[in-house]
Structure 1
Amino acid sequence: MFKKTAAAILLSFPLYAVPMAAHSAAGPVVAHGTTPTMGSVLTDGAGKTLYVLLSDSKNADEQKAALAACDKACQDKFIPVATTGRPLGLAVIPGFLGSVKGASGAEQATFRGWPLYTFADDTAKGQVNGQGFKQAAYVISPVGEVNRAAPKAVARAGAAVAKKPVDTALMPIGQEKYAATCAGCHGANGQGAFGAALAGFARLGEDDAFIKQILIGSGDMPGFAGAMDDREIAAVATYARNSWGNEFGGITPEQVKALR
């Protein structure tokens, strides 16, 4: 129902830059952007992806979980989007723009009530390294919908990425976890059932995207960040990437830890 309502709102509001004098020299603070892996998102004026933190959620349980998962060091990676009064927007719904005083007392841009942040580890346009970070940060769409999906894999041009060696100790652990949690949807032999077939599925070769898919989930697939530790998720990923004819190389617990 929300998607239909959001679409109706989008069609009923003109998308244009709000001419606020305080920002006219600096350009837009919030803009409509597109990323290769998450589609349409909000960006800042320089094109960097914007995020919301669930620690700002009005849902008490959601806020509590986010605060427990994302400590001060984690939250410090997210930089509040500064503004003076109502921010200038470009190709976004003007009525969704606003501002709020952040924890430091400085004004911060908001969209549909959500305070907005950039992520310190995003260094270029289109990057979404903060998506799902510690299960506390997510991109927001130009109609104000928090997008909790895992980033989609994107084909890489040029030379193939070198495969990481397979830790054979992880394979039996991965096989056991796969049988218990994944086989019902993806098939005992990766042939697919309710979920996608994993045998011969090229997207499994995208390390970060596949890890985040397991951690966060998307669509009908739940995330397993809370059900499995780093080694178990690395084991499941390694098993799926190197079974049923797949030869995509290993995943390490360190890779999983970096993306939680």
Structure 2
Amino acid sequence: MNHLAQSWKALLVTAALTLPTLAFAADPAMMKDGMMVDHKGMTLYTFDKDSGGKSMCNDDCAKNWPPMMAPAGATAEGKWSVIKRDDGKMQYAYDGKPLYTFVKDTKPGDMTGDKMKDVWHVVHESQK
């Protein structure tokens, strides 16, 4: 195999490995079984006390309801946005609502936090 053919093959292999990663990064979460989950399959929730694209869940609250953090420099489009938390870190929001997981959800598909204290809610497909 000549050098040009080897380079072309290497480029194709690199593209094949990179493109799924780029597609994966495009949406911070996905729908599964009618509910929104992160890329680990963990259920995502909204908090009724959040408003105006601002998280009101900090300190002990955020220990129980870990925010869906966005990496530094993350961008979003459509209904997705990135908000700045009180601690200066970035968090994903959907349709203006910050997103969280729940510490008591131990495996993908768990949704033990739904309707907790009537202020925590699973994000359902009908909301998408």
TM-score > 0.5 by shorter chain: yes
| 1:16-62 C-alpha deviation (Å, 9 max, x unpaired) | xxxxx9x739745211111xxxxx1110001100000111035xxxx
Deviation at 1:144, TM superposition (A): 2.8
Q: Which residue of 1 aligns with 2:108?
A: 125
TM-score, normalising length: structure 2: 0.66
Structure with greater Cα Rg: 1
AA matched with 1:131:
D
Question: Could you tell me how far apart the structure 2 residues matched to 1:83 and 1:73 are?
Answer: 20
- How many residues of Structure 1 are paired with residues of Structure 2 in the alignment? 103
Question: Could you tell me how far apart the structure 2 residues matched to 1:95 and 1:49 are?
Answer: 21
Greater RCO (CA < 8 Å, at least 6 residues apart): 2
Tell me, yes or no, if the aligned pair for 2:58 and 2:86 is still in contact at 8 Å.
no
5+ residue gaps in structure 2? Answer: 1-18
The equivalences for 1:204-215 within 5 A come to: none
SS state at 1:56 partner: coil
Q: Which residue of 2 aligns with 1:33?
A: 32
Tell me, yes or no, if the aligned pair for 1:86 and 1:109 is still in contact at 8 Å.
no
The equivalences for 1:181-260 within 5 A come to: none
Deviation at 1:99, TM superposition (A): 0.9
Q: Which residue of 2 aligns with 1:80?
A: 67
TM-score, normalising length: structure 1: 0.35
Indicate yes or no: 2:80 matched with 1:97: yes
SS state at 1:127 partner: coil
AA matched with 2:41:
G
Structure 1 residues 144 and 105: CA distance shift in structure 2, 3 A: farther
The structure richer in helix per residue is 1
SS state at 2:121 partner: strand
5+ residue gaps in structure 1? Answer: 1-20, 35-39, 59-66, 88-93, 146-260
Indicate yes or no: 2:45 matched with 1:55: no
Question: Could you tell me how far apart the structure 2 residues matched to 1:125 and 1:119 are?
Answer: 11
The structure richer in strand per residue is 2
Deviation at 1:101, TM superposition (A): 0.6
Deviation at 1:71, TM superposition (A): 9.3
Structure 1 residues 71 and 118: CA distance shift in structure 2, 3 A: closer
Question: Could you tell me how far apart the structure 1 residues matched to 2:59 and 2:119 are?
Answer: 12
Corresponding residue to 1:112 among 95, 115, 118: 95
